[in-house]
Chain A
Amino acid sequence: MSDPIRVLVVDDSALMRKLIPQILQADGSIQVVGTAIDGSFALKKIEELKPQVVTLDLEMPGMSGMQALREITMRYRLPVIVVSSHTTQGASATFKALAMGALDFVAKPHDASAHMQQVAQELIGKIKIAANTGAPRAPSAPSLSFHKPEKPRQRLRRSPTRVVAIGISTGGPNALQYLLAQLPGDFPGSILVVQHMPEGFTDMFARRLDECCSLEVKEAQSGDLLQAGRVLICPGNRHMRVRRMPLGDVVVLSDEPRVNGHRPSVDVLFRSVADEFGPASLAVLMTGMGDDGADAMGAVKAAGGMTIAQDKESCTVFGMPRAAIERGHAIRVVGLDVLANTLQAQCLHEVQPVGRLARAQAGQTG
């Protein structure tokens, strides 16, 4: 057996400094080597205890969480997992932290007795990833978040040429921001995103993305229309499907049970896009652990749609794309830096959406 992963827990709450190690102790391969009450203590303890992964609360007295984060990622080159509170401020700070180099985040443990299993799995999983990936690369395209992109004055309600469904998990926020910021405001496709993220964070996530790209980005609501140049982000803890309606194509949210251990699940979105849009669908699996979306990518391919997996080099975690590639469902494997161009090219020409029913009929006649 390999040595346990050494973790330092930084939180100003005494309760969390007890609770988080307890959660982590459930897994034998993780060892909490210490806890720290604020940023400056954290830095001292890093020198002393040499942890491999740091969990960090952003709201602390003394040296702020952001400052500590900068030091930990830049100076000590350690992966940081932010333990974030559920408020809007919390979400906002969290995304700032991700942009500054935090590897990932989890929501603060909530109602320890009820949901702990889930919280534990998520946190343990992310720590293992962090230990494997090591220090994050320099924050991707930091300048992008500073200049306000130009938005088209007025967006015409246009049906999209294609429906681009993106499934993404660990490492997602930064990769997605990088991708979307490169797409022009008149991008002809409509983009749907399932990002594995806890409830309460997706709204802020969508708003942040909206601020830094020319596309219109919003958290999806049931009945929102698929439009060219629009990105709909599936809210946390719900599933997102598409439906073609007489007056337009819409997304529908639902509260069905978790699929592949996830809600939202990429599989659910991909399958529904394949069913409704057939060859006009385009599925993209990006960085993330696990294999959510890999199977349903096969359905997209079978329905005549395009399937793209992000390549290993540009992935924070090469899990979901690899699963799709290994199962033979990915038609193309593309790096993050060229993904925007690829999508642009793929969506340039309108593809006639053919639903499941029509395909079935065509299959019978043909």
Chain B
Amino acid sequence: MNFFSDDRMTELRQLFFESAQEILQVLNEEALRLEKAPEDAEIVRSIRRAVHTLKGDSAAVGFRELSQIAHELEDALAPEVTSAAPGADLVELVLSSADTFDGILAAHRGSLPLPSVEPLRAAIAKLRPGANGKTQLPSRAPSASLVSWSEYQQIAINQALQRGTRVYRIAADLDPNCPMKAAAWQLFHNVLQRAGEVLAVQPENAGAENVSHFEVVISSQKPEAWIADRCLIPAVIAGVKVTPWKARQPGQAPAAESAAPQTAAALESILRVDAERLDQLLNLIGELIIGRSMLQQVLGEFSRRFPKDSLRARFADAMAFQTRVLNDLQRSAMQVRMVPVEQLFRRFPRLVRDVAKQCGKEVALLLSGQQTELDKSILDAIAEPLAHLVRNAIDHGLESPEERQKAGKPGKGAIRLNAYHQGNHVVVEVSDDGRGLDPALILNKAVERGLLSSDEAARLSPAEVLELIFRPGFTTAEQVTEISGRGVGMDVVQSVVQRLKGAISIQSQPGQGTTFVIKLPLTLAIIKSLLLRIQERLYAIPLNAVVEISRASEGAIHRVDNHEVLQLRNTVLTLVRLGSPPSEFNPGKRIFVLVIALGERRYGLIVDTLVGEEELVIKPLDGQVVASELVSGASILGDGTVVLMLNLVAVVEHYSRQSLAPLPAAPAQLAPPPSPATSLPGGAR
């Protein structure tokens, strides 16, 4: 009978995978600590405890192989073993164990064939005494019997020896093709009884279905060869070995036992919650916020109609109270989703170590700002891009030790990961103190690869040049190496960051190093937005992208190289116009220009009217509802109006890229405006 429903078992396995992942993380971290302090027995104990937990957990969910190999590792990590083993071996062993465990876990998760554990088993065996034959007790010789004779059998054997009869030990293997094991055993036993007196048989259950090897002790007056000949029954017994009886070698002494004392820092009390449940909670809060704006709307209407009604004030009070509570609720729900960046950073020591080893470079990893908190889903999404940046920094950014010394830098390169809050954003920086990016080299490459013409190249600002490395199809490395060439290009890094409504920028000083700055929103779910109208359609953009709102008249807009630009104080702003330019040019018409910042660059978005500021709960739209990537989501206002959230990066890309293409004059040839509002079925949400 199955005690657990499949559901429960699945849930349990899921939990196992999560906690196992944490255990692996601990193994990695502790191994790296051990590498720095090879003498610290406390670290070994902590590793052993982690392995112990993994062993127990994997046994509980029925992953025997994992449990078994973890058990072997745990034994090998016993103090009496590790004290004899050099720390470096131990570090390698623990790291490779973590990798092997990870492989097994991945295989279990994907129901794939399990990877072999033999290399790890061999590595574990190497650590244990006995493999080098130094401390092992005299064990059974290979030819010695694998069975042990019971006390009663030994008495019988001894008595036979005392009587002066010859005693033989017979080891026999059943023919694997022999169909009936029980009958075969009976036949063999009959032969033995004719040869002499059977003193002892091992195993006890000889004749059972799964027994194919047995050993027998008989006393007999017949010569050895005669017995061997008789015992070899064709098609029943495959092999037989008869040896005169010798006193048994002493058995192994029991190994000394010792329980490791346990002391380590206490952990925090943590409640584990499925991320999905949190999302659901946040979703409901989003609905509440929509509900609130509906109420607000009604209240406005009410106030207009009955400005003198005494109920109005009470209504407004209740509204204000609800708003306050709702804000708190929203903030706490967000807080729950926030996790310290440390969760992400802690993977890097291992990664840096491995990559540095592969590249033959010495690298110090400096982490700071680990306590900075970020939405869990964002954190998960940037893990891979961040890893790519770090790999790149080590592989391409840092020079070889010789080069560094020539340049007067310390031979050991530094990679720094830093995180901090900046307004409504979290900034994550990846910097190296390597050779820096060479703008000339980048330009050459880009032109060579046909990413842009040399004319255009000449017009780019230094910052724009650096950003070329984010273009698809661009690689600065002379060769795609094993480390960096993993299919995740810089373009993918950028697109992930942009999908998260963040921005990535580069700062580089030749000879000093390069810093990638990733700016991410604190959370994705609820966004402070600016509502605006362009050609009668309502749109929203994230408020934090807006640097400045300025007014201008159509007459102030100039055209340069197919771009519309506006001089704003001392800078020239490239303009982005959604929709077609006005059919009749009216230089006096007043327009709004929103100055938006994307990374280091600024653009002006031409807007007809501004509607207001609102916190919007953004619902993602799948491709079936809106085909345009220019829109990143939708929300509903209090009065039921659907508003589309513009994906600024894509919008700017779309319109500025298009005008970059050498089009012959006429701005009327700009692409038609996106009309997401019309392609969104009414009331779809």
Task: State whether A15 touches B52 (Cβ < 8 A).
Answer: no
Quick check: which of A55-63, A167-175, A185-193 contacts chain B, the rest being far away?
Answer: A55-63
Given A14-B19, A87-B74, A247:B3 Cβ within 8 A: no
Stretch at the interface among A216-224, A257-265, A341-349: A216-224
Within the complex, the shortest CB–CB distance from B613 to chain A, in Å, comes to 43
* Alpha-carbon distance between A13 and B2 when the two chains are bound, in angstroms: 24
Given contacts A22-B8, A114-B62, contact A13 B266 (CB under 8 A): no
Knowing A15-B16, A223-B152 touch, does A37 contact B56 (C-beta < 8 A)? no
A92 contacts B257, CB within 8 Å? yes
CB neighbors of B among A135-149 (8 A): none
Which residue in A89, A110, A117, A250 is a CB contact (below 8 Å) of B3?
Answer: A117
- B150 adjacent to A111 (CB under 8 Å): no
CB under 8 Å from chain B, chain A span 222-263? 222-225, 245, 247-248, 250
Would you call A59 and B262 a contact (CB within 8 A)?
Answer: yes
CB pair A247 B155 closer than 8 Å: yes
Query: Is residue B669 contacting chain A, with contact meaning CB distance below 8 A?
Result: no
The residue on A at minimum CB distance from B53 is A13
Residue numbers in A under 8 Å from B52 (CB-CB): 59, 85
Contacts of A13 in B (CB 8 A): 19, 53, 56-57
Q: How far is the CA of A113 from the CA of B60 in the complex (A)?
A: 8
Known: A13-B19, A15-B12, A18-B15. A41 touches B266 (CB 8 A): yes
- Identify B9's interface contact among A36, A93, A113, A117, CB under 8 A: A113
Q: Which of B623-655 contact A (CB under 8 A)?
A: none
Interface residues of B in 61-107 (CB under 8 A from A): 61-62, 64, 71, 74-75
If the complex has contacts A222-B204, A245-B152, are A15 and B266 also in contact, measured as CB distance less than 8 A?
no
Indicate if B46 sits at the interface (CB-CB under 8 A).
Answer: yes
Q: Which residues of chain A from 81 to 114 have a CB within 8 Å of any chain B CB?
A: 85-89, 92-93, 96, 108-114
Q: Are A38 and B266 in contact (CB under 8 A)?
A: yes
B266 & A40 in contact (Cβ 8 Å cutoff)? yes
A64 at the interface (CB under 8 A from B): yes
CB closest chain-B residue, reference A67: B262
- B150 x A223 contact (CB < 8 A): yes
**Among the listed A36, A37, A61, which residue makes an inter-chain contact with B49, where contact means beta carbons less than 8 Å apart?**
A61
Interface residues of A in 44-64 (CB under 8 A from B): 59-64
| Contacting residues of chain B (241-277) with chain A, CB-CB under 8 angstroms | 254-255, 257-267, 269, 272
Are B262 and A15 in contact, with the CB atoms below 8 A? no
- CB distance A16 to B264 under 8 Å? no
The answer to whether A64 and B263 touch across the interface, beta carbons within 8 angstroms, is yes
Instruction: Identify which of B22, B59, B261 contacts A111 (C-beta below 8 A).
Output: B59
Contact between chains at A223 and B151 (CB < 8 Å): yes
- Say yes or no: A247 contacts B62, CB within 8 Å: no
A12 interfacial contact with B, CB 8 Å: yes
CB-CB under 8 A for A61 and B262, given A14-B19, A111-B62: yes
A158 near B: Cβ within 8 Å? no
Alpha-carbon distance between A68 and B15 when the two chains are bound, in angstroms: 26
**Residue B128 at the A interface, CB < 8 A?**
no
Residues 2 to 37 of chain B near chain A (Cβ within 8 Å): 2-4, 8-9, 12, 15-16, 18-19, 22
A108–B22 Cα distance when bound, in Å, is 21
Is B562's CB within 8 Å of the partner chain A? no
Q: Is A65 an interface residue (CB 8 A)?
A: yes
| B255 contacts across to A, CB distance below 8 A | 88
Cβ-defined partner of A89 (8 Å) among B57, B259, B267, B272: B259
Residues in chain B near residue A15, CB distance under 8 A: 12, 15-16, 19, 57, 60-61
* A65 lies within 8 A of B60 (CB): no
Which residue of A has the minimal Cβ distance to B148? A221
By the criterion of a CB under 8 Å from any partner CB, how many residues of chain A are at the interface? 50
Q: Are A92 and B15 in contact (CB under 8 A)?
A: no
Tell me whether B677 is interfacial, beta carbon within 8 Å.
Answer: no
A327, CB-defined interface residue at 8 Å: no
Which listed residue (A64, A92, A112, A225) contacts B61, Cβ 8 A?
A: A112
Say yes or no: B264 contacts A248, CB within 8 Å. no
Contact residue among B18, B62, B262 (Cβ-Cβ distance under 8 Å from A65): B262
Interchain CA distance A324-B300 in the complex, whole Å: 84
Q: Within 8 Å CB of A111, what residues of B?
A: 59-62, 64
What is the chain B residue whose CB lies nearest that of A250? B152
Q: Which residue of A lies closest to B156 (CB)?
A: A247
B residues 148-162 touching A (CB-CB < 8 Å): 149-153, 155-156, 159
Smallest beta-carbon distance A335→chain B, Å: 33
User: B60 touches which one: A16, A37, A96, A225 (CB < 8 A)?
Assistant: A16
Q: Is B55 in the interface zone, CB < 8 Å from A?
A: yes
Cα(A224)–Cα(B46), bound, Å: 42
Q: How far is the CA of A116 from the CA of B3 in the complex (A)?
A: 6
Residues of B within 8 A of A96 (CB): 259
Assess whether B262 is in contact with A26, with CB atoms less than 8 Å apart. Answer: no
Q: Cβ of A108 and Cβ of B74 under 8 Å apart? A: no
- Docked complex Cα distance between A347 and B258 (Å): 38
Residues of A within 8 A of B254 (CB): 207
Query: From B153, which residue of chain A is reached at the shortest CB distance?
Result: A223
Chain B residue with Cβ nearest A58:
B259
Q: In the complex, A189→B490 CA distance in Å? A: 82
CB < 8 Å: which of B9, B49, B257 contacts A88? B257
Which of A26, A61, A113 is B264 in contact with, Cβ under 8 Å? Answer: A61
Using A87-B71, A250-B151 as known contacts, say yes or no to A110 and B262 having CB atoms under 8 A apart.
Answer: no
Q: Is A19 interfacial (CB-CB < 8 Å)?
A: yes
**Complex contacts, B684 vs chain A, CB 8 Å:** none
* Residue in A63, A120, A222 whose beta carbon sits within 8 Å of that of B150 in the complex: A222
- Interchain CB contact under 8 A, B159 and A247: yes
Contact present for A37 and B269 (CB under 8 Å): yes
Shortest beta-carbon distance from A239 to chain B in Å: 13
Q: How far is the CA of A250 from the CA of B52 in the complex (A)?
A: 39
Which B residues from 262 to 308 make CB contacts under 8 A with A?
262-267, 269, 272
Given A14-B19, A114-B62 in contact, is the A41-B259 Cβ separation under 8 Å? no
A222 vs B263: C-alpha distance when bound (angstroms): 42
Task: Give Cα A206–Cα B257 distance, bound, in whole angstroms.
Answer: 14
Q: A19-B60, A225-B152 are in contact. Are A93 and B3 (CB under 8 A)?
A: no
Interface residues of A (CB under 8 A from B): 12-16, 18-19, 22-23, 26, 36-38, 40-41, 59-65, 85-89, 92-93, 96, 108-114, 116-117, 120, 207, 221-225, 245, 247-248, 250
The 7 residue pairs across chains A and B that have the minimum distance between CB atoms: A223-B150, A116-B3, A61-B264, A111-B62, A14-B19, A64-B262, A223-B152
* 12 further A-B pairs in the complex, CB-CB below 8 A; given A63-B263, A112-B3: A14-B15, A26-B3, A59-B53, A62-B267, A64-B263, A65-B262, A89-B259, A113-B2, A113-B61, A120-B3, A222-B150, A250-B151
Q: Identify 8 residue pairs between A and B in the complex whose beta-carbon atoms are under 8 Å apart, listed by A's number.
A: A14-B272, A16-B56, A18-B15, A38-B266, A61-B263, A111-B59, A224-B152, A247-B152
